[in-house]
Amino acid sequence: MIPVRGFDGAHVAVLGLGRSGISAARALREGGAQVLVWDDTPAARERAEAEGFEVRDMLRPGAFDDIACLVVSPGIPHLYPAPNPVIAAAYAAGVPVDNDIGLFFRSLGEGWEMFDRAPKVVAVTGSNGKSTTSALIHHLLHASGRDSQLAGNIGRGVLDIDPLEDGSVVVLELSSYQTDLARALTPDVAVFTNLSPDHLDRHAGLGGYFAAKRRLFAEGGPDRAIIGVDEVEGRYLANQLSEGRGDDRVIRVSSGTKLTGPGWQVFARKGFLTEWRKGRQVASIDLREVTGLPGAHNHQNACAAYAACRALGLGPRDIEAGLKTFSGLPHRSQTIAEAKGVRYVNDSKATNVDSAVKALQAFTNIRWICGGLMKEGGLEGLAPGLPNVTKAYVIGREAAAFALGLPGVEAEICTTMERAVAQAMHDAQPGDVILLAPAAASFDQYDNFEKRGEDFAARVLASLG
User: Is 16 annotated as belonging to a binding site?
Assistant: no
User: Is 128 annotated as belonging to a binding site?
Assistant: yes
Annotate 383-425 with three-state secondary structure. Answer: HHHHHHEEEEEEECCCHHHHHHCCCCCCEEEEECHHHHHHHHH
Query: Percent of the chain scored above 90 by pLDDT?
Result: 86
Domain ranges of the chain: 11-98, 106-323, 334-464
Q: What are phi and psi of 203, to 5 degrees?
A: -125, 10
**pLDDT of res. 277:** 95
Residue-by-residue DSSP string for 51-69: TTPEE--TTSTTTTTTEEE
**Which residues is 395 bridged to in the sheet?**
415
Of 348, 336, 333, 335, nearest in space to 446 by CA: 348
Is CATH 3.90.190.20 what the domain over 334-464 is classified as, yes or no?
yes
The H or E element that residue 316 is part of is: helix 316-323
Q: Which amino acid is at 352?
A: N
Q: Which amino acid is at 183?
A: R
- Within its chain, how far is the Cα of 246 from the centroid? 30
Angstrom distances, CA of residue 259 to CA of 278, 347, 415, 438: 12, 29, 45, 33
CB distance 245 to 210 below 8 Å: no
- What's the whole-number average pLDDT of the chain? 94
What is the sign of the dihedral through the CA atoms of 268, 272, 275 and 278?
A: negative
- At 154-184, the pLDDT tens digits run 878 999 999 999 999 999 999 999 999 999 9
- Count Cα neighbours of 269 within 13 Å in the Cβ-side half-sphere: 12
Q: How far apart are CA 237 and CA 426, in angstroms?
A: 48
**pLDDT of res. 114:** 85
Q: 224-228 and 67-72 as β-strands: parallel, antiparallel, unpaired?
A: unpaired
CB distance 158 to 98 below 8 Å: no
User: Is 127 annotated as belonging to a binding site?
Assistant: yes
User: Is 126 annotated as belonging to a binding site?
Assistant: yes
**pLDDT of res. 387:** 97
- Burial tier of 126 (Cβ tally within 10 Å: 0-12, 13-18, 19+): buried
Architecture of the CATH domain 11-98: 3-Layer(aba) Sandwich (3.40)
- At 442-464, the pLDDT tens digits run 999 999 999 999 999 999 999 99
Is CATH 3.40.1190.10 what the domain over 106-323 is classified as, yes or no?
yes
User: Is 352 annotated as belonging to a binding site?
Assistant: no
What is the sign of the dihedral through the CA atoms of 115, 117, 118 and 122?
A: negative
CB distance 210 to 231 below 8 Å: no
**pLDDT of res. 199:** 82
The alpha-helical segments, DSSP class H, found in 119-244 are 130-143, 176-181, 200-203, 206-218, 232-241
CB distance 251 to 234 below 8 Å: no
User: Is 365 annotated as belonging to a binding site?
Assistant: no
**pLDDT of res. 457:** 97
**pLDDT of res. 310:** 98
**pLDDT of res. 355:** 87
DSSP helix/strand/coil, 77: coil
**pLDDT of res. 436:** 98
The tens-digit pLDDT sequence of the chain (465 residues) is: 999 999 999 999 999 999 899 999 999 999 999 999 999 999 999 999 999 999 999 999 999 999 999 999 998 999 999 999 999 999 999 999 999 999 999 998 877 888 999 999 999 999 988 999 999 999 999 999 999 999 998 878 999 999 999 999 999 999 999 999 999 999 999 999 999 887 888 999 999 999 999 999 998 899 999 999 999 999 999 999 999 989 999 999 999 999 988 999 999 999 999 999 999 999 999 998 888 898 888 999 999 999 999 999 999 999 999 999 998 888 988 899 999 999 999 999 999 898 899 899 989 999 999 999 988 778 999 999 999 999 999 999 999 999 999 999 999 999 999 999 999 999 999 999 999 999 999 999 999 999 999 999 999 999 998
Q: How far apart are CA 59 and CA 238, in angstroms?
A: 43
